[in-house]
Structure 1
Amino acid sequence: MDSLQRLYGDKIAIIPIDGLDRGDNATRAEAFFRKNKFIIPTVVEDTVLKTIFPHKSVPHEVWISPDGRILATTGHDEVTRENIDDALAGRLLTVKIKRDDLTFDLHKPLFVSGNGGKCDSFLYRSLLTREIPSIGSGYRQTPIVRDGKLYLRSFQATNLPAISIYMAVWNEGKAGLLVNPTRVLIDARDSVYSPWDFRDPGSRWRRVKNYCYSFDIPVEVSDSIFYRQLMLDDLNRIFNYQGRIIKKRVESIVLRPVNSRGDLLKLKAGNAEKVGLRYSDERGSILDSVVNIPFCDFINYLSRFYYSACPIYDETGLDSTRITMKINIRYKKDRACESIINYDEWRTAFRRNGIDLIVEKRDTEVLVLSIPD
Structure 2
Amino acid sequence: MQKLCNRERYCLFKSRYNRSRTLFSFAVAGFCFMLFNLSTAQAQSPENGEAAEGQTEIKPLQIGDTVPEELWNLPLQVINHPEGKDTITLDDYRDKKLIILDFWATWCGSCISTFPKISKIVEARRELVKVLPVSYEEMQKVERSFSSNKVIKNSGIEETIVEDSVLKAYFPHRIVPHYIWLDGNGRFLFQTDASSLTMENIDSVITENPVKLTAKRDSISFDKDLPFDANQFDVGRNLERTVFLTETPGIPSLMGQPRPLRSDNQFVRAYAVNTSIERLYELAFPDLIGIPRNRRKIDAEIDAKSLLCYEFIGKVERKGDVRLKIKEDIDGFLGVTSNLKREDVDCYTLQIDEELYRTREHLLLGERQTVSNWVRLVNNTPDNIPLICDFEPYKIFIPLLPIDASYAEASKTLKQYGIELKKDRRDIAVFYLKERRSEK
Q: How high is the TM-score relative to the length of structure 2? A: 0.51
Deviation at 1:83, TM superposition (A): 2.0
Q: Is the 8 A contact 1:182 1:311 kept in 2?
A: no
Structure with larger Rg:
2
Corresponding residue of 2:212: 94
Query: Aligned ranges for residues 235-246 of structure 1 at < 5 Å?
Result: 235-246=330-341
Which residue is 1:171 aligned to?
286
- The match for 1:75 is 193
Does 2:275 match 1:160?
yes
Instruction: Give ranges in structure 2 of 5+ residues lacking alignment.
Output: 1-117, 356-371, 405-409
Rounded to whole Å, the distance in 2 between the matches of 1:184 and 1:216 is: 28
Task: Go from structure 1 to structure 2 and tell me whether the alpha carbon gap of 1:131 and 1:66 turns closer, same or farther (over 3 Å shift).
Answer: same
Name 1:18's counterpart in structure 2: 135
Q: Report the aligned-residue RMSD.
A: 4.6
Contact conserved, 2:271 with 2:309, CA < 8 A, in 1?
yes
SS, match of residue 16 in structure 1: strand
**CA-CA distance at 1:100 after TM superposition:** 1.6
255, 278, 292: which is aligned to 1:139? 255
Matched, 1:65 2:183: yes
CA positional deviation for 1:246: 1.0
CA contact (8 A) 1:143 1:151 kept: no
Which residue of structure 2 aligns with residue 226 of structure 1?
A: 322
**Partner residue, 2:310:** 213
Which residue among 50, 53, 78 is the counterpart of 2:168? 50
- After superposing the two structures, state which structure 1 stretch, 359-368 or 233-242, moved more: 359-368
Shift of 1:328: 9.9
Counterpart position of 2:238: 122
Question: 2: distance between equivalents of 1:314 and 1:88?
Answer: 88
Q: Are 2:145 and 1:32 aligned?
A: yes
1:252/1:44 Cα in 2 relative to 1: closer, same or farther (>3 Å)? farther
> What SS does the corresponding residue of 1:5 show, helix, strand or coil?
helix
Distance 1:168 1:304 in 2: 23
More moved, 31-40 vs 121-130: 31-40
Higher relative contact order, chain-length normalized (CA < 8 Å, sep 6+): 2
> What is the Cα deviation at residue 119 of structure 1?
1.1
Deviation of 1:185 (Å) = 1.8
2:296 counterpart of 1:180: no
Match of 2:112 in 1: none
Q: CA deviation at 1:247?
A: 0.3
Q: What is the distance in 2 between the residues matched to 1:2 and 1:304?
A: 80
3-state SS, counterpart of residue 104 of structure 1? coil
Alpha-carbon distance between aligned partners in 2 of 1:56 and 1:8, rounded to the nearest angstrom: 29
The CA deviation string for residues 141-180 of structure 1, in whole angstroms up to 9 with x for no partner, is 465648x6412222222233322212332217x9x53x63
In 1, Cα distance between equivalents of 2:178 and 2:264 = 36
Matched to 1:233, the amino acid is E
In the alignment of these two chains, the number of paired residues is 286
The offset of 1:307, in angstroms, is: 8.7
Deviations 1:42-99 (A, max 9, x none): 3222222222212221111112222333332111122122222222232333332211
Residues 338 and 433, structure 2, Cα contact 8 Å, conserved in 1? yes
Q: 1:248: which partner in 2?
A: 343
Which runs of 5 or more residues in structure 1 are unaligned? 189-194, 196-203, 260-298, 317-325, 330-338, 348-355
* 1:246/1:26 CA distance change after superposition, 3 Å: same
Query: How much has 1:205 moved relative to structure 2?
Result: 5.6
Amino acid at match of 1:217: G
Assess if the C-alpha contact under 8 Å between 1:255 and 1:312 holds in 2: no
1:295-320 per-residue CA deviation (whole Å, 9 max, x = no partner) reads xxxx9xxx99999498999999xxxx
**Percent identity of equivalent pairs:** 24
* Contact 1:157/1:165 (<8 A) preserved: yes
Residue 104 of structure 1 deviates from its aligned partner by 0.8
Q: Does the CA contact (< 8 Å) of 2:335 and 2:435 recur in 1?
A: yes
Distance 2:271 2:157 in 1: 59
Q: Distance in 1 between matches of 2:144 and 2:235?
A: 44
How high is the TM-score relative to the length of structure 1? 0.59
CA deviation string 1:103-127 (max 9, x = no partner):
2113x14414x21523112112222
Alignment match, 2:69: none
Find the aligned partners of 2:421 and 2:387 in 1 and give their Cα distance. 12
- Matches of 2:389 and 2:342, distance apart in 1: 15
Aligned residues of 2:277 and 2:304 also touching (Cα < 8 A): no
Contact 2:244–2:308, Cα closer than 8 Å, also in 1: yes
Which letter does structure 1 place at the counterpart of 2:331? N
What do residues 213-267 of structure 1 show as CA deviations (whole Å, max 9, x unaligned)? Answer: 22232211345x321x2222232222132111210346598999x79xxxxxxxx
